[in-house]
Amino acid sequence: MRHNKKFNHLSRQKGHRDALLRNLTISLLLHKRIFTTVAKAKALRVYAEPLITRSKKDDMANRRLVFSYLQNKEAVKELFGVVAEKVAERPGGYTRILKTGHRLGDNAEMAMIELVDFNENMLAEGGAKKGKTRRTRRGGKKNAAEAPEAAAPATEQNEAE
Stated pTM of the model: 0.75
- Residue 130 confidence (pLDDT) above 60: no
E strand residue ranges, the chain = 33-37, 95-102, 109-115
CA distance 23 to 12: 15
Task: Summarize pLDDT for 14-73 with one digit per residue, the tens.
Answer: 999 999 999 999 999 999 999 999 999 999 999 999 999 999 999 999 999 999 999 999
Phi, psi of 114 (to 5 degrees): -140, 160
pLDDT value of position 102: 98
- Residue 128 confidence (pLDDT) above 70: no
Q: What angle do CA 58, 23, 106 make, to 5 degrees?
A: 145
